[in-house]
A and B are shown apart, each in its own frame.
Chain A
Amino acid sequence: MLRREAPINRVVLTLMALVIWLWLPLGSIAPNRIMPGTAYPLAQAVGWPLAMVSCLPLLGLLAVAWRPTRSGYRVALALTLLMLAALPFWLALMAQQLLDPELPQARVGIGAAWWLMLFWLSLLLIELRTRLALAGWRLALSFVPVLAGWWLAGKGLESLALRQELEGRGEAFGEALIQHLLLVGGAVGMSLLLGAAIALAMRQSPRVERLGFALLNFLQTIPSLALFGLLLAPLAWLSARVDWLSALGVSGIGWAPAFLALLGYSLLPMVRNTFVALSGVEPGVLEAARGMGMSRGQVFRQVRLPLALPVVLEGVRITTVQAIGLTAVAALIGAGGLGTFIFQGLGQAAMDLVLLGALPILVMALAVDALLGALTRRLDHRSGQTTGTIG
C-alpha cells in the first residue's frame, strides 16, 4: 500500500510546480525604479517553443516520480540540479527579448514563478539529499554546475533590478554587510564568553541558577523592538555624563544599544545550552575518568568539554541565527547593517531595495544554520553521544 500511494503525492506536487511555472509571472519589466512593472508569464517572456523546452526536465521528474528507486533518485537529482543551474538563464532570455534598448533605465524584476520554482527545487534537493544520504564533498561537488550556471547567466543580467540597486550603492552595501557581521559576531562571541561564565556560576549554586534563569527568561519576553528603544535614553544619559564612554562612540543611538540588546537576547539560549551541556554528562563517565587518575582540570578538559561541545555549538547556532535577524531590526535605532536597506526601501516604496537588504539576511541565516548544524552533527557523531536536543 505504501509503495503504491507514496508516488501519487510526488506526482501531484510535480504537476503543481508545472502549473505554477507556466501560469504565474516569471518576471516583470519596469521602465524605471519607481514605476510598477508589467508582469510576464514564461510563454510570453521567452516564447512558446522555449517555454516547452524548459518544461522537459519537469516532465522527466514526473516520469521518475512513478519509480521511487535509488537510480530513479539519482536521475531526479541530476534533473533538479540542471533546472537550478538553468534558472537564471530564463530571466536573462526574458531581458534580452523584452527590454527596449531605447530605455536605459528599464529593469527586470523577478516574478513569483521564479521564486516559487527556486523554493520548490531547494525542497526537492533537501529531500533527495536525505534519500541518497549525500554529505560532505559529494554534496559540495553537486553544487559546482549550479554555481557555474549562475555565474555564466550573471553576465546577461545587467538589467536585473536587484543588481542595479546593488551597483548604485556598492560601497554602502559592503559597509552594511560588514557592520551586520561585526554586530552579530561581537554579540555572539561576547555572549559565548559571558554565557559560559554564568553557566559555570550557576552550577556552583542553585540559588544563582534560579535567579539567573528568571532574569534571562524575563529579558527574552521583552519584544526586540522595545528593548532596542528602551536602551536609547539610558545610554544617551550615560554617554553625556561619562567622558570615556562617549569617546568610545557610545551614544543613545548607533551600535551601543544594538549590541547590548543583542547580547541580552543571546544570553538565554547560550546559557541554557551551556548549562545543560555541562550538567548533562553522565556521572558514570566522570567516575571512570577520575578512576583513571585524571585530575579535576583534566576531567574538565578531556572529558566534560568534548562531550558538552555539540550542545554548546547548538546554542551558538540558535543564537547566531536569532542575532542575524535581530540586527536587521537594529537598523531602526541607527545601528547600520543590512536592515538599513530594508527600512529605506520600505520608506521609498522601492521594493528592490528591500530585497537587497532582506535576501542577504535570509541567505546568511540559512547558511549559518546549515554550516553549524553540520558541524554539530559531525562532533556529535564523533563523541558518540546522543543528546536529543539536536534537530
Chain B
Amino acid sequence: MISRCLKRWAVPLAWLVLLLALATGGEWLEPLLRWSEPEARRVLYPQADLLTLLLRHLQVVAIASSLAVVIGVGAAILVTRPAGRDFLPLVAQVASMGQTFPPVAVLALAVPVLGFGTWPIIVALLLYGLLPIVRNTLAGLEGLDPGVEEAARGMGMGAAQRLWQVELPLAAPVILAGIRTSVTVNIATAALGATVGASNLGAPIIAGIVNGNTAYILQGALLIGLLALTVDSFFARLLSGRQ
C-alpha cells in the first residue's frame, strides 16, 4: 500500500527533494555557480536564508491562489444558478479583463493603496490568476450532460444537494486543471513582488540584476523553476488519480 502510494507520488516527491536540497544546502552548488561568475566575490545569495525566501514565496502564492479559488469558483457557481445567470456574461468579461491587466501595472497601482511589501503582489496575482479558474469552472459546470441533472432531480435532490454531490464532483477535473494553470503561472509571476519590497524568491534575482551577479539570478530562477515543477507535477498526479 505504502509502496504503491510512494510510486504514484514519486515524481512530485523527487522534485520536492531537489527543491529542498537546493534551498537548504546550496554550498555544493558553489563550484557550478562559480563557473557562471568567476570574478565575483561571492556567488551564494547572502541576504536571507533561501529556505525562508522559498517559504515566503509559497505563502504569497498560496494566499493569492486560495483567494482566487474562493472568488473564482464562487462567482462561477453563482452565475450558473438561475438567480445569477443574468451576470454570466459580465463575470466572464471581468475575468478575461483581469488577465489583460499587466501584473506589473496592477502591482504599481496597488502600492499607493496598500503600501510596500507583500500585499500588492497578492492583489496582482489574485487578479491575474482569476481567469483560468473562472473559465474552467464555467466550462466544467456548463458542460455537464443535462441528463445527469435530470436524473439527480428525479431522485429528489435539492438544488444545494445537486451542486455538492453531482455537479461539483463531476466538474472537478476541469476546475482542478484551471487551478493548476493559475497556480503555476502565479509561481513565476510572484517574483515580480520583489520590485516593491516583498521578500520572496524574486529578491535574489533583483539583487543579481542590480549587482550584475549572474549567480544570484541563477539561484532565484532555479528555485522558482523547481517550485513550479514540483507543484505542477503534484497537480498532474492529483488529476490523473481522479480519472
Contact = CB atoms under 8 A, between A and B. Distances in A.
A233 B36 contact: yes
A225 interface: yes
Nearest to A339: B104
Contacts of A221: 184, 188, 225, 228-229
Interface in B154-205: 184, 188-189, 191-192, 194-196, 202, 205
A51 interface: no
Contacts of A355: 108-109, 112
Contacts of B221: 222-223, 226-227, 229-230
B46 interface: no
Q: Interface centre among A112, A225, A369, by most B CB within 10 Å?
A: A225
Contact of A333 (B92, B100, B209, B225): B209
Contacts of A225: 191-192, 194-195, 202, 205-206, 209
Interface residues of B, number: 49
Interface in B103-156: 103-105, 108-109, 111-113
A2 interface: yes
A366 B214 contact: no
Contact of B195 (A1, A233, A332): A332
B241 interface: no
A232 B101 contact: no
Nearest to A5: B83
A252 B202 CA distance: 20
B212 A361 contact: no
A362 B225 contact: no
A175 interface: no
A127 interface: yes
A89 interface: no
B36 A366 contact: no
Contacts of A59: none
B108 A127 contact: no
B109 A358 contact: yes
Contact of B102 (A232, A333, A365): A365
A249 B229 CA distance: 37
Given A221-B188, A222-B225, A223-B224, A351 B195 contact: no
21 contacts: A1-B83, A2-B82, A9-B86, A130-B89, A222-B188, A223-B224, A229-B209, A229-B221, A230-B221, A325-B103, A332-B195, A332-B209, A342-B108, A345-B108, A346-B195, A354-B108, A355-B108, A357-B108, A358-B109, A361-B102, A369-B97
Given A222-B221, A224-B188, A346-B108, 15 more contacts: A1-B82, A9-B83, A9-B87, A221-B225, A222-B225, A223-B191, A226-B191, A228-B209, A230-B217, A329-B104, A332-B195, A346-B195, A354-B109, A361-B102, A366-B100
